[in-house]
Amino acid sequence: KNEVEQSPQNLTAQEGEFITINCSYSVGISALHWLQQHPGGGIVSLFMLSSGKKKHGRLIATINIQEKHSSLHITASHPRDSAVYICAAHSGAGSYQLTFGKGTKLSVIP
Amino acid sequence: DADVTQTPRNRITKTGKRIMLECSQTKGHDRMYWYRQDPGLGLRLIYYSFDVKDINKGEISDGYSVSRQAQAKFSLSLESAIPNQTALYFCATSEGGFNYGYTFGSGTRLTVV
């Protein structure tokens, strides 16, 4: 069974800081998701990646398949970035199965 | 309208009552899922369906049942609700095959008293 670990569990940052959230997994995967969950509950997919790097606005996601590790970076953080960030991994080609990390709660203070 | 709509958004029910959570989607995806989220835990899979005639148990299916009424509709039922089923429930869809993209609903917050 794949284990997905996120760090840190909680993160407080000042507005404008560069933020990194880490995700590691125990077995080979076919794809990895980064998800955002705002207070009030809804989950939004930020990125899905299987190799390399993706960028959307101030968000950057990277994955290193050999090291079984992914990072989510937020540049020039803003209070509206305050949310829980969740990584989730697909195990195996064509696998429906998603294994979720427990999430990182980010608070950005003005 | 949202791509994946869950109703109700919030529900308080009494122990022993039957309750149904509904999910509908406009993505045209074949695969639908029900997940449960508890504080401090990752999302856990309750049931999933790859098409109308296909229903499969996930890791925590005990106490739950589902119905796939159409490609676009997937309902989750608690036959006799108990307090430890208090949680946030999410419906999700995916296209399947080697397309791994997921779309989540906004969640249903269920409280069993």
Please answer yes or no on whether B100 and A31 come within 8 Å at the CB atom: yes
Q: Which residue of B has its CA nearest to A104?
A: B40
Distance, in angstroms, between B98 CA and closest chain A CA?
5
Write out chain A residues lying below 8 Å of B101, CB-based. 45, 48
Using DSSP, state whether B15 is helix, strand or coil: coil
Contact A60, A107 (CB under 8 A): no
At A94 the pLDDT is 59
Contact with chain B for residue A92, Cβ under 8 A? no
At A32 the pLDDT is 92
Distance, in angstroms, between B106 CA and closest chain A CA?
4
User: How crowded is the C-beta side of B98, counted as CA atoms within 13 Å?
Assistant: 3
Please answer yes or no on whether A41 and B45 come within 8 Å at the CB atom: no
How far is residue B29's CA from residue A100's CA, in Å, rounded to a whole number? 21
Contact B15, B83 (CB under 8 A): yes
Torsions phi, psi of A31, nearest 5?
-165, 160
At A81 the pLDDT is 97
Of residues B22 and B39, the one with the higher pLDDT is B22
| DSSP characters over A63-107 | EETTTTEEEEEESS--GGG-EEEEEEEE-STT---EEE---EEEE
Any residues with CB less than 8 A from the CB of B99 and at least 6 apart, and which? Answer: none
Token pair for B36: 């449960």
Average pLDDT over residues B23-44: 93
Please answer yes or no on whether A42 and B102 come within 8 Å at the CB atom: no
A63: confidence class by pLDDT, cuts 50, 70, 90: very high
A44: confidence class by pLDDT, cuts 50, 70, 90: very high
How far is residue A61's CA from residue A74's CA, in Å, rounded to a whole number? 9
Percent of chain B having pLDDT more than 90? Answer: 83
Q: Tell me if the bond preceding B8 is cis, omega within 30° of 0.
A: yes
At B46 the pLDDT is 96
CA distances to A56, A81, A104, B75, B104 from A11, in Å: 21, 12, 7, 36, 25
Percent of chain A having pLDDT more than 70? Answer: 95
Token pair for B9: 């958004």
- For the stretch B51-63, pLDDT in tens is 999 999 999 999 9
Q: Mean pLDDT, chain A, as a whole number?
A: 91
Residue A96's DSSP bridge partners are none
Any residues with CB less than 8 A from the CB of B16 and at least 6 apart, and which? Answer: B80, B81
A71: confidence class by pLDDT, cuts 50, 70, 90: very high
At A2 the pLDDT is 74
Token pair for B22: 């509904």
- For the stretch B66-104, pLDDT in tens is 999 999 999 999 999 999 999 999 999 988 766 678 899
Please answer yes or no on whether B43 and A100 come within 8 Å at the CB atom: yes
Of residues B14 and A30, the one with the higher pLDDT is B14
Contact B47, B58 (CB under 8 A): yes
At B20 the pLDDT is 98
- For the stretch A15-37, pLDDT in tens is 999 999 999 998 878 889 999 99
Q: Which residue has the tokens 């049931």?
A: B47
Please answer yes or no on whether B42 and A48 come within 8 Å at the CB atom: no
At B91 the pLDDT is 97
Task: Give the count of beta carbons closer than 10 Å to the beta carbon of residue A74.
Answer: 20
User: Of B31, B90, B107, which has the smallest distance from its Cβ to A96's Cβ?
Assistant: B31
Average pLDDT over residues B12-31: 96
Contact with chain A for residue B111, Cβ under 8 A? no
Q: Which of residues 23-42 of A touch B (CB under 8 A)?
A: 30-31, 33, 35, 41-42
